[in-house]
């Protein structure tokens, strides 16, 4: 198997003022295989968001190395990094950050229209297809005030997919959603993953993590444990059992 992410001895320190620095990531090693569906759990402040930002090139480690698709990215110039993020990575967040002056479909199309030679018609067709896949095609011409939180997160997912990324990173993407919308978003992410896109999520929610195939657990800037599960297949397996299995592991490990 090929690793899409290979991070070794990642360290992240932030200088807060004279003589005061905090050490957020501490010698973190992490490999993610192409096509994997991984989640990161851990207490608030343990460094989950920082980990995600630093392996995706949204932020820079202060020591160590991060490889994406075999290429070391931690020393790249910002514009090179931006190109990689735009073309090969998709991001979904708890705060979806859609542009309020654009229709929902225009928000989805936005990252594909950044390059000048984009075929606007083809991008429009693709945005429509993604909105259909996520069940929001009827909302294409609505604006952000005319959709629910769950629907807006689907717009966020479509926007993350518009450039056919190799990987989707999600920082608590279901954190603001009710349980029904959470289920729906997780089904969509599972489908995207089954189509070959790697997915890495940060989450507090055992129900969410239980749907992923490997759960990393962070404490105080380190990945201290991981649990391997299987790929979730709703036809083969009941998610309740997976949740119980994960809960038991968390409790047995004192998390
Ligand atoms: N840019 C920053 N400046 C100062 N402190 C930061 C910065 N980024 C993160 N931290 C601190 O690092 C720790 C880990 O943060 P974070 O990665 O957001 O944790 P998590 O996502 O697990 O809640 C926290 O104590 C947070 O306050
Ligand atoms: Mg966080």
Looking at residue 238, its pLDDT comes to: 81
State yes or no: pLDDT of 242 exceeds 90. Answer: yes
Tens digits of per-residue pLDDT, 162-215?
A: 999 999 999 999 999 999 999 999 999 999 999 999 999 999 999 999 999 999
Q: Is the pLDDT of residue 224 over 90?
A: yes
Task: Say what the pLDDT of residue 117 is.
Answer: 87
Minimum CA distance residue for ligand 1 atom 5: 14
Average pLDDT, the chain: 95
The residue-averaged pLDDT of 115-126 equals: 93
Measuring from atom 24 of ligand 1, which residue has the nearest CA?
45
pLDDT for position 1: 82
Ligand 1 near 15 CB (within 6 A): no
Q: Is 22 in the pocket of ligand 1 (CB under 6 A)?
A: yes
* Nearest ligand for residue 40 CA: 1
| Ligand 1: centre distance to CA 37 (Å) | 24
Q: What is the whole-number distance in angstroms between the Cα of residue 50 and the centre of ligand 1?
A: 6
Q: How do residues 20-51 score in pLDDT, each as one tens digit?
A: 999 999 999 999 999 999 999 999 999 999 99
48 pocket-lining for ligand 1 (C-beta < 6 Å) = yes
What's the pLDDT band for 127 if we cut at 50, 70, 90? very high
Query: Does 46 contact ligand 1 (Cβ within 6 A)?
Result: yes
| 133-156 pLDDT, tens digit each | 999 999 999 999 999 999 999 999
Residue nearest ligand 1's atom 4 by CA: 14
| CA-based nearest residue to 12, from 54, 73, 41 | 54
Cβ(49) – ligand 1 distance below 6 Å:
yes
Atom 9 (ligand 1) nearest CA: 50
Mutate to test the pocket of ligand 1, among 22, 200, 222 (most ligand atoms within 8 A of CB): 22
Report which ligand 1 atom has the smallest distance to the Cα of 47: 17
Cα(45) to centroid(ligand 1), Å: 6
* Domains delineated in the chain: 3-252 (3.40.50.300)
Is the beta carbon of 45 within 6 A of some atom in ligand 1? Answer: yes
pLDDT at 17: 87
Residue 18 is predicted with a pLDDT of 86
Q: Is the CB of 24 under 6 A from ligand 1?
A: yes
Stretch 81-85: mean pLDDT, rounded? 96
- Residue showing tokens 């896949």: 133
């Amino acid at each position: 198997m090929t690793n899409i992410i290979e991070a070794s001895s990642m360290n992240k320190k932030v200088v807060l003022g004279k003589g005061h620095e905090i050490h957020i990531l501490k010698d973190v090693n992490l490999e993610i295989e192409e096509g994997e569906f991984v989640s990161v759990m851990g207490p608030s402040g343990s460094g989950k968001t920082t980990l995600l930002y630093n392996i995706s090139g949204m932020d820079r480690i202060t020591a160590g190395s991060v490889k994406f698709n075999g290429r070391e990215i931690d020393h790249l110039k910002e514009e090179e990094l931006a190109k990689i993020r735009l073309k090969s990575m998709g991001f979904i967040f708890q705060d979806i950050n859609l542009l309020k002056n654009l229709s929902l479909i225009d928000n989805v199309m936005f990252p594909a229209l950044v390059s000048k030679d984009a075929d606007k018609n083809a991008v429009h067709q693709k945005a429509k297809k993604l909105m259909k896949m996520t069940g929001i095609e009827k909302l294409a011409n609505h604006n952000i005030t005319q959709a629910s939180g769950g629907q807006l997160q689907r717009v966020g997912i479509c926007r993350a997919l518009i450039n056919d990324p190799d990987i989707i990173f999600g920082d608590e993407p279901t954190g603001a959603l009710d349980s029904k919308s959470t289920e729906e978003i997780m089904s969509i992410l599972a489908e995207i993953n089954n189509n070959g896109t790697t997915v890495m999520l940060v989450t507090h929610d055992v129900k969410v993590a239980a749907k992923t195939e490997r759960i990393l657990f962070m404490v105080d800037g380190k990945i201290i444990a991981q649990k391997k599960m299987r790929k979730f297949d709703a036809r083969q397996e009941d998610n309740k059992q997976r949740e119980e299995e994960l809960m038991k592991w968390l409790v047995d490990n004192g998390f």
